[in-house]
Every structure is written in structure tokens, then in C-alpha cells.
Amino acid sequence: MLIELGHYLIIISLFSTSIGFFYDFYRIFLNIILYFLENELPKILIYLKKKSKYLKKYIEIIANDLLFKTYYQILYNKRKNLFIKINSNIFIYIPKISFLCLWLGFLCLFYSYITSDFSLINIIKYSHSIESLIYKICGLWGNQEGSMMLWCWILLLYSFILSIISSHDKSLFFFKILNIQTYSIFFFILFTVFASNPFLRGLYFFSNGMELNPILQDPTLALHPPFLYLGYLGFSIGFSIAFVILKEKYIPYFWIYYMKLFTLFSWCLLTFGIGLGSWWAYYELGWGGWWFWDPVENISLIPWLLGTALLHNFIVNEKGYGLNHWTLSLAILIFLLSLMGTFFVRSGLLVSVHSFANDSISGLFIFFYLIFLILFIIYNYKNNHNYLFQFIKFYLISKENVIRINNIFFIFMSFIVFLGISLPIILSFFLLKQVSLGPNFYNEIFIPLMIPFIIFISFGPLVIWRGDKVYSFLNFQNFSFGFIFYYLLEISLYEKINSLLSFIIILLILWLFINLFILMSHIKKINGMLISHLGIGIFIFSIAFNLNFQSSFMHMIHPGEIIKFENYNFIFRNLHFFEINNYKTLIFNFLIKQQDYLISVIFPEQRFYSLKKILSFKPSINTNFLSDIYILLGDGNLELGWYMKIIFNPLIIGIWIGILLVSLGSLISMRKLNYKIMNPLYF
């Protein structure tokens, strides 16, 4: 009964969004009729009047007929007033009704998962009765059908929030934004119902399921996909606002604040979601790194990079110094690339632990919708490109020009990432063999690119608007202080330099820190911008420092053996075997000592998942915030011993501290922006 209810609720949600969709088709049909009556019918009547004297009398009667003129006037008034009169009733309530129905349907699916209802094909494939509750929840969106349900619900959530805003401010502009949102909602719910329905029943009843992929059985994965989706789909509001402005050739005075609010919120959640994914990759996948340039990981990076460029561009818009065409173009491009990433993941074109291995028909469904959007946007750009571009004088050394160069950096980085994703797919198609681009492709481009990028973000906040000078307190001698600080740190801790580029990047980041603290003391307050830039600095500094000073060691070890590495003693004490829920685990017990002091006791694991027949190696990590000791046990046995890998990761925890600071800075900025929106004096 609950399954049928969930299925019907999705159908109701689809029907409610289709009302707005078909209403627009009715308006288009009405416009075609009026165009015919206004332009083509008079030409036809004149032609017939010239050709036939017999019809001349009847044509004059039709042309002067009061009933005909009355009907034409009614149609004309309908075209003029229909959108205004009906929109307030339709486009405000459509997201609310659809959101309620889809939310209830999502709860039905959620309840079916936690109660292990194995009459559903989706639950049979991705759940098991003995799994922990948290992993059953992960299974809900750990597959195409459930994740599309979550995708639709989050898309409706943003439209629901916008409909609440529009119910207080009944501007025609908001109704048109909701209208554009309705198109995306209608398409994805249509896709869910007919191509990715999670409520399909099996022909036979199963007493148990096939279990979620063991790699995805992790608490962090319960939060990672929802945060990514909240980030991706929040950009849909910016897309809809930009599309309405582009189509209507009208920029309302408040557009920048609403677009910035939704973009900032989405970017914050996407930042946190990417951070969760990198943390999961670090402690789960067992290779000791945090970002492997996996194609699906890279897809989430593209909207983040372009979103960062868009947020910087808003600063210029708020000051009234132009670049509106940059803002509209970036807002549209971000959402289109998010959809393209969805197509790549769900079409089976990408090989990754994150991708959904489904048939290409589902991917083609999204691909054709994406092509439709691109063609429609190109058509509107072609008609309105002169309206978008404004001639405003830019000074060579000015904040607006630095932001424009900053945008070019982010767009170029996004292009490189997109090229790294799409090029192997294109080459594989023509060469008829699997082609991939590894981390070296990205590292050789991005690491040198960081040097000019850090220089720009170091003095960018210090440059004044509409001027040709930098604040007098910008002193390039700060660079020498950074060098001295780094040299003392390097001598006292590590006494080695592995990479010249990493060394230069570390110096530049230290220079950035000094400039930020000087700026902070000058303006005498801490704002979201400073916190986010500080977070980016800590993030890049931690990466460069870790690359320069990371070390590793591999050895075959037996119980009772002691290994010395990086002034530490690793003592293999014993091992224990346990059977827990849906897997069997072998837990190794290690003592870590430095001289005679006990540092930690850690427990790396080897798990065997019986249902999937998968052996999983779980590392164990000891951290003191300055460095991590990362231990992984590989293949082996009691007789021959086990392969043991130890990785020393200095300052790697700073990567996630930086990500948290970036998210915190965006939240602070959003709070201030929300005050501006709620205070009418700012308008």
C-alpha cells in the first residue's frame, strides 16, 4: 500500500508541474493564432479580394464583422493579461504542491528502505536486512533511481523556497523565474517516472537483497551526495534568473542580491560536499591521498570553480561597474555543466567508483534535454547579445580588472578539468579502446598555474576600485618575511626540499597570510571575504607543504616485529578476527612510540564482504593536527607476514581546515547579504 502511495504521489507531482508546462504551450499557441490574425490573415484577404470579384463582397463583410473584431480583441487581451492573471495562481502553488507530494513520496521510499521492503527491485539491488541503519539510508541515494528522486526533491525544495519569497513579493519577475524552474522540474520528474522509477516491483519476492557496494558503506557517504546535490541544484535559481533577464531584456534592481544569495548558499554547500568527498577518499580508499582526479570528482569541481568566479563577479555588479554579461553567462554555464556532469555520470561513459553503471538510454534522455536548453539559450543570446554588453572604462590596476583576470583564471582551470573528463571519452570512441588521463596531466598544469594565481589573490583585496594604485600598506618586502618564516620552519622541522614549485607556492602563501593580516588590521574587522581567502590560503599551503615533505615506507611485517620510520617505532602486537553484520574483519593492533613515549594505538583492518565477495582494506590514521601517520595492511598471512605501508603526511589536516574556513566565510557573507535583502533601505 505504501509503495503504491509513493508511486501515485510522484505521478501527482508530475501532473502538477505539467500544468505550468502545458500552460506555456497554450500561450505559444495563442500567440501563433494572434500573429496569424494580425499579419497573415489581412494579406490573404487582400489577395483573395484582388483575385475574385465574387468573394470581394463577402471579404468586406468578414473584415467589418463586429463578432470577428470582438473575438480578435478578446484574444488580444488574453495574450496581454493572461500571464499576469494566471501566473499568481499557478506558478506560486505548483512548486508547493509538487514539493509536498514528492516529499511524501520520498518518505515512502525512505520507510521502505529502513524496513527492508524487498518487493521493490531498487531495494533488492542496493540493500540487505543485516546492514546497519546508516548504510540502508546510504543505499537510498547510492543508486540511480533513489538519487534521481533526491535530485527532484532538492530541485523542488529550491523552487518551494522561491515560491515563498514570491508570495510576499508578487513581482512578475519572480513568476517568470518559477516558470523556468518548472521546466526543469517537469523534465526530471518525467525522467524519474518513466526512466528511473524507484517504486518498480519485482516479479518475485526476495527474502533478502544484494547489498550496497561495500566501498559506499560509510557514514560520510550518507551526507556527501545530498550536499553535492544541494550545491548543484541551487545554481538552478541563478540559471533561471539569468535566463529571464536574457529573454525579457529587463534587469530589475534587486536581481543581483537574490542571485548572489542562492549562489552563495549553493557554493557553500558544494564546498562542504566536495570536502566530505575528499575526506572519505582519504580515510576509506587506502592510497593515502585525498584527491585522485577521478572523473566524477572532477565533475563536481567544475561548478565550484565557475561558481567561485561568479561570486567574485557579483562584487563588480554590486558596485555598478559592469560585467553583467559575465554574471549572466557564468550563471547559465554553471547549471548547464552541472547537467552535463549528470549526463556523464548516469550514461556509463565514466569509469569510477562513484558512477552509476546504467544503460546509455537513461543518459540520452538527459543529453537531449541538455541540447534543447543549449539551443534555446543560443537563440536568446543571438537576439540579445547587444543588450548584454556594456562599455565601461577599466583601469589597468583596479579591483574590477583584477576580478576580471581572476575570472579568466577560474574559467581556464574549469576548461582544463572539463578537457580532462571529455577528451578520454572522445579518444576512446575513435580509437576503440579505453583511454584515461591520470593525475600527472592535471598536476603538471595546475601546480605551475598556482604561482600567478596566488600572486593575484594576494594583492587583489588590497587594490582600490576605479583607481591606478594599490593601498600604501601593500609592501612587497612582506615576501621576505614569509621567506624567513618558511626557512625557520623548514630547518626546525624537516630540513629538506623535494619540489622547487612547492617551495615557491609555500612562500607565496605565507606572503598571502601576511597581507591578509595587514589588511585585517587596517579595516579593523573580520568579514566573510577575509575568512574565505584565509581558508583558500591554508588549503593551498597544506597541499604544497604535504607534497614537499610527504614520505612513505613499505615493508613485510610479522606479529611481534618492530619497524622504525621517521623517528617512530611501529610495534605489531597482535591481530583479531570478528564477524560483524554483513562482513568479516581482521583487525591488526599496532603501537606507535617515539623514543620511550607512547604516541597512539591504531587498528587497521581487512574486511571481507561475503555477499559481494569483495575484500576491502581499511587504513588507520593517527593525527596530531601537524602531521598524520597513515597505516595500511595489504595481502598476507601468518606464515609470510603482511605487506605494510606507512605514509607520513605533514599538515594534511590543513586541507579540511581550509575547506571549513571557506564554508564559514561564505556563511558569514550570506548572513550579511540576507540582511540587505530584508532591509528595504538597500534597494
Give, for 617, the enclosing helix (H) or strand (E): strand 614-618
Mean pLDDT score across all residues of the chain = 79
Tell me: the pLDDT tens digits for 234-252?
999 999 998 888 887 777 7
* Overall average pLDDT of the 100-117 stretch: 89
Give the mean model confidence (pLDDT) for residues 478-495: 52
**pTM of this prediction?**
0.88
Residue-level pLDDT at 474 = 46
State yes or no: pLDDT of 161 exceeds 60. yes
403-420 average pLDDT score: 90
pLDDT of residue 117: 86
Helices (H), 389-436: 399-431
pLDDT digits (tens, 9 = 90+) for 634-657: 888 888 899 999 999 998 999 999
**pLDDT digits 0-9 by tens, 184-232:** 888 888 888 888 888 888 777 777 888 888 888 888 878 888 999 999 9
Q: Is the pLDDT of residue 488 over 60?
A: no
**pLDDT attached to residue 352:** 62
Question: Is 321 a residue whose pLDDT tops 80?
Answer: no
Going by their DSSP bridges, the two strands 614-618 and 605-609 should be labelled as antiparallel
Q: What is the pLDDT of residue 67?
A: 43
The pLDDT, as a whole number, for residue 170 is 61
Q: At what angle do helices 255-284 and 224-248 cross, to 10 degrees?
A: 150
Indicate the residue type of 605: E
Choose between 539 and 179: higher pLDDT: 539
Smallest CA-to-CA distance from 335 within 190, 224, 186, 233 is with 233
Q: In this predicted structure, what is the pLDDT of residue 535?
A: 92
Between 36-45, 132-141, 206-215, 460-469, the lowest mean confidence (pLDDT) is in 36-45
Of residues 134, 128, 122, the one with CA closest to residue 207: 128
Sorting pLDDT into bands at 50, 70 and 90, what band is 388? Answer: low
Range scoring the smallest mean pLDDT among 8-22, 300-314, 487-501: 487-501
DSSP code for 202? P
pLDDT score of 429: 75
Band of pLDDT at residue 89, cut at 50, 70 and 90: low
What is the predicted pLDDT for the residue at 681? 41
Taking the CA atoms of 421, 423, 429 and 435 in sequence, report the sign of the dihedral they define: negative
User: What pLDDT, on the 0 to 100 scale, is given for residue 475?
Assistant: 46
Q: Residue 66: what pLDDT? A: 43
- SS3 letters across 71-100: HHHHHHHHHHHHHHHHHHHHCCHHHHHHHH
The pLDDT, as a whole number, for residue 456 is 80
- Give bridge partners of residue 650 from the DSSP assignment: 627
- Residue 404: pLDDT above 80? yes
Angle ∠(403,412,316) on CA atoms, nearest 5:
20
Rounded to whole angstroms, how far apart are CA atoms 331 and 336? 9
Per-residue pLDDT for 325 more than 60?
yes
Q: Between the ranges 366-380, 464-478, 479-493, 664-678, where is the mean pLDDT highest?
A: 366-380
Instruction: With beta carbons less than 8 A apart as the criterion, state whether 497 and 483 touch.
Output: no
Average pLDDT value for residue range 357-366: 66
